[in-house]
Chain A
Amino acid sequence: MTAVPDIEFRGVTKRYGAVTAVSGIDLAIPPSAFVALLGPSGCGKTTCLRMIGGFEQPSEGQVFIRGQDMAGTPPYRRPVNMVFQQYALFPHLDVEDNVAYGLRQARPRLSSREIASRAGEALEMVRLAGYGRRKIHELSGGQQQRVALARALVNKPAVLLLDEPLAALDKKLRTDMQIELQNLQREIGITFVLVTHDQEEALSMSDFVCVMNGGRIVQLGQPSEIYDEPADLFVADFVGKTNLLSGTVAGHSGDLVEVALADGTVIAARKRTALQQGEAVSVSLRPESLSLGARTDSPFKGIVRNRIFLGSTAEYAIEVKGIGTLLAKADHLIGHGNLFKPGEPVAIGFASGTPLAFAETKNNGANQRVDKHVEIIS
């Protein structure tokens, strides 16, 4: 609780001319955390990462690394290292010289024996021992990725910054690397800050996810919180797949509201933001929270329009009159034993959880206090 955060943003704003890329961000990242900055392109996540690295200077506010104000400190004097998008490996150097590049910059100079042994260890750590004399262009994408990791980690940074590190890899390799990165982070115990637009990647790898939109932090929390308790409509829509249904608030009962949907159906939903009687709302229904069957008490009845078979589950697009198309995910092996066919009528019920209701107008006051963030994370 009292530990000095590895990274701290205090009221950081970044403008490019008339465009505000990052707007008044407060954030504290405690030691040894794996944090993902998640958001659509242009949300300011990369700008935040580049401000930690020192490639951009904040227009307002301060960035601290381990309690040190970094104002005016150039990238080459910061105790952080970055894995760049597409890796930015030096094409004129071989693998070992790429990895040793940072060690050669150290002052006072390191002995060549120490440089060689540390570079060797780093290559071993990323399972590339014996590749030292290879040229960069002779390596596969996954191997280049690991060289970039070794090149950054060999300098023993306080924080490792990762800018969309897996974007250039194919899906299978990406999954492997996700696990490898997680293991690596636990092994070394330093803070990793990952920038990604891929919500699956953010949820699966990190201890904490910081969802950004329009230059602000919209929500900060553990992956399960982000998924189960999205702070607003944007997060609900951006993180994971969901069905958003428009309706109006018809009544209140404690934490729940009754929402009248377009076709007149009234469903109970948990409110995530303060709601007024008669206010326009969106209700979020996760596809996996829906159940399909022939039950008569189901709120919706529809016709299967499309089926995507996914192995252990199947996704259905179901047309519901007056509502639109709903996406439902069904565990067909355990559930019903067989698949619904396109054209078949089905009843849709709620299998688990309660739908969430959000005000239609986007909640943009989501900049929480630093201390609250620290609390959430530690």
Chain B
Amino acid sequence: MHGSRLRRNLLTALLLGPATAWLVVFLVLPFIAIAVFSVGERAPEGGYQAAFTFAQYANLPARATAFWNTMVLAPVGALACLLVAYPVAYYLALRAPQRWRLILLALVVIPFWTSLLMRTYAWMYVLGGRGIPALLAYIGFEDVRLINTPGAVLLGIVYGYLPLMILPIYVSLERLDRRLLEASADLGATPLSTFLGVTLKLSLPGVMTGFSLVMILLLGEYLIPTLLGGGKVFFIGNALVDLFLQSRNWPFGSAIAITLVLVSVVVLIAANRISTRVSGARRVDLI
């Protein structure tokens, strides 16, 4: 009896071992390193010099613009994504004919198999001088500027992150018991109030999962704004690249990174709270 339990524990440890080792080496240790760096000082020739100071954190306002831009980009981008994704997910889960559903779902995911960088470059051409503006000029609309505008950035973000928003919403809508919609109609609710009172509320866990997922990724996003926005507006992502690779101020970069992680955690907890309260679900599934 005792032996078999020991064997079972050993097996559990063996199965969990690789994943644990992976997380320790590539997540926990780097995180500790960053945390240690963030209270250090920049060495004269760049990099890290041991110290214990909160000077780096005190210096955060120096990058306030980048923080501010990111804090606007992330929620606005996630919201734009949500507004586009919800109708798509709704159609896929509740309206699309059963036999087309898988194919349509695959069409949502397939673009993901190409690198985001590649797809963003493609958008540069589509929105650039020889793309849509050229077409518009052909039919008489001269001098339309699309590339290097906030609109182009938003478009790129929605395009790039759409599947991450669609899939969790699709899953929660797909799981929705259709008889609840009938029950709501039976009790006198118009289609609109059924949507607001039942469908939307019960799909909120999916919405919150998608929203927090996209928003957290957008907190570190800098590629799309650089390529489609002309690189005139700086984000935390740009700041991190700059601080770690160019000006080699690792401690300050680390302080920014730690702050970003804390913000992400706050976003996640808030999203979880909201969807738990409204939908009555006991947890949020992170996919």
**Chain A residues in contact with chain B, CB under 8 A?**
53-55, 74-77, 80-82, 84-86, 88-93, 101-102, 105-106, 135, 151-152, 155
A90-B185 in contact (CB<8A):
no
Contacting residues of chain B (168-211) with chain A, CB-CB under 8 angstroms = 177, 179-180, 182-190, 193, 197-198, 201-202
User: Which of A75, A91, A102 contacts B202, CB < 8 Å?
Assistant: A91
How far apart are the CA atoms of A84 and B202 in the complex, in Å? 19
Can you offer 29 A-B residue contacts whose CB atoms are under 8 A? A53-B186, A75-B182, A75-B186, A76-B187, A76-B189, A81-B186, A81-B187, A82-B186, A84-B183, A84-B186, A85-B179, A86-B179, A88-B179, A88-B183, A89-B183, A90-B184, A91-B202, A91-B280, A92-B201, A92-B278, A92-B280, A93-B280, A101-B184, A101-B189, A105-B189, A105-B190, A105-B193, A152-B187, A155-B188
Residues of chain A lying within 8 A (CB to CB) of residue B279:
92
Contacts known (A92-B280, A93-B280, A105-B193); A76 close to B185, Cβ less than 8 A: yes
Contacting residues of chain B (268-287) with chain A, CB-CB under 8 angstroms = 278-281
Residues of chain A lying within 8 A (CB to CB) of residue B202:
91-92
Q: Which of A80, A82, A105 has the most CB of B within 10 A?
A: A105
Contacts known (A91-B280, A92-B202); A74 close to B180, Cβ less than 8 A: no
Interface residues on B, range: 20 to 34
B179-A76 in contact (CB<8A):
no
Residues of chain B lying within 8 A (CB to CB) of residue A135:
280
Residues of chain B lying within 8 A (CB to CB) of residue A81:
186-187
How far apart are the CA atoms of A55 and B183 in the complex, in Å? 10
A151-B187 in contact (CB<8A):
yes
B186-A90 in contact (CB<8A):
no
B182-A84 in contact (CB<8A):
yes
A102-B188 in contact (CB<8A):
yes
Residues of chain B lying within 8 A (CB to CB) of residue A75:
182, 185-186
**B258 vs chain A, min Cβ distance (A):** 37
A55-B182 in contact (CB<8A):
yes
**A102 vs chain B, min Cβ distance (A):** 4
Residues of chain A lying within 8 A (CB to CB) of residue B281:
92
> Across the two chains, which residue of chain B brings its CB closest to A148?
B183
**A7 vs chain B, min Cβ distance (A):** 15
Residues of chain A lying within 8 A (CB to CB) of residue B186:
53-54, 75-76, 80-82, 84, 152
Given A92-B201, A155-B188, 14 further pairs, Cβ under 8 A: A75-B182, A75-B186, A76-B185, A76-B189, A80-B186, A84-B179, A84-B182, A90-B183, A92-B202, A92-B280, A101-B184, A101-B187, A102-B187, A105-B193
